[in-house]
Amino acid sequence: AKQRDDTLVASADTVSTETGKFPLQHILEAQQFDTELLNSIFQVAREMEEVERNSEGSQVLKGYLMATLFYEPSTRTRLSFESAMKRLGGEVLTTENAREFSSAAKGETLEDTMRTVEGYSDIIVLRHFESGAARKAAAVSNIPVINAGDGPGQHPTQALLDMYTIQREIGHLDNIKVGLVGDLANGRTVRSLAYLLAKYTGVQIYFVAPDVVKMKDDIKQYLTSRNVHWEESSDLLEVAANCDVVYQTRIQRERFGDRVDLYNEARGKYIVDTKVMSMLPEHGVILHPLPRLDEITVEVDSDPRAAYFRQAKNGLYIRMALLKLLLQGY
């Protein structure tokens, strides 16, 4: 396991597109990526946008098998990975609901499941309900593991596609102003995004959240330690006027239990609507990890600055890039 741990964090100078070797063995968490590695992945993702049907590039993973091992359903993420694999000529083994496979059903450990499935495939995409599951899985796996979300833990490919979308839409990642809006306490998405943004220079972050779901102190302290300017605001219009990116998130009802009153209060507070759009700079964009309920009104969809469906599509390119890099290198 020692050797594997070494590959979890790749320092800048281990990234070598000359040798062609991708420095990571597994994709487990946002902390694995520095800016050089991010930029190299984004470059490959950009190339993936240009892969044409039945071109040579569309066959680079021919003969490879990806297993999607999903212990909780997430059709969007699963389809995105499976599309990515197939767009590159690879094949897929699907498990929409792996829970019956394992502990829940007969008591098998995740480690045993991995040791079996690695015999049937070349790469495993794991979605799990327990924080840390991906790391546990990778520790015993001889083939690459991609964390497709492990409970309240990490969802690194979402963080990468968010960053990639900002770069694609705004043109750069340094010196940007980002408003993070909605459920900042529970959303692993915004937490990972804040973490990765902090690696770039001149970034300014604005938190806009209902009182009950404010950004937690650990991320704030981290941002401060990285000299990232951040502030909290309760004025979404003002933040929109100041930002390049407004990243809206869904208030997650499932986090409120019986407190429907708190949920309803939080839910209606910050809505991206045409009024917000009227404040947003012309070059600005609205992002959202999806699914959205009514925290962005449908009138906004036709605004060219509504980038959330392009963002979802970028998930495809990022996953194509990661699959290619893990299986074939640069």
Cα–Cα distance list, 144 to 30, 44, 72, 90 (Å):
16, 18, 20, 15
- Judged by CB under 8 A, which of 11, 97, 201, 227 binds a second copy? 97
What count of other Cβ atoms lies within 10 Å of the Cβ of residue 2? Answer: 5
DSSP notation for 200-238: STT-EEEEE--GGGPPPHHHHHHHHHTT-EEEE-S-HHH
Active site residue 155: yes
Q: Catalytic pick from 78, 127, 135, 267?
A: 127
**306 contributes a contact to a second copy by CB under 8 A:** no
Q: Catalytic pick from 76, 172, 259, 275?
A: 76
CB of 313 to a second copy, least distance (A): 4
CA distance 308 to 299: 14
**Contact region with a second copy (CB under 8 A), list: 182-190, 203-211, 216-224, 307-315:** 307-315
CB of 181 to a second copy, least distance (A): 18
CB of 41 to a second copy, least distance (A): 19
Q: How many residues does the chain have?
A: 330
Q: Interaction with a second copy in 194-253: which residues (CB under 8 A)? A: 250
CA distance 201 to 174: 5
Active site residue 77: yes
Active site residue 275: no
Active site residue 128: no
**316 contributes a contact to a second copy by CB under 8 A:** yes
CA distance 136 to 133: 5
DSSP state of 254: G
**62 contributes a contact to a second copy by CB under 8 A:** yes
Nearer to a second copy by C-beta: 199 or 288?
Answer: 288
- Judged by CB under 8 A, which of 22, 42, 64, 200 binds a second copy? 64
DSSP notation for 39-94: HHHHHHHHHHTTPPTTSGGGGTTTT-EEEEEESS--HHHHHHHHHHHHHTT-EEEE
The residues binding a second copy (CB under 8 A) are 53-54, 58, 62-65, 67, 73, 75-76, 79-80, 82-83, 86-87, 91, 93-98, 100-102, 106-108, 112-113, 115-117, 119-121, 250, 290-293, 309, 312-313, 316
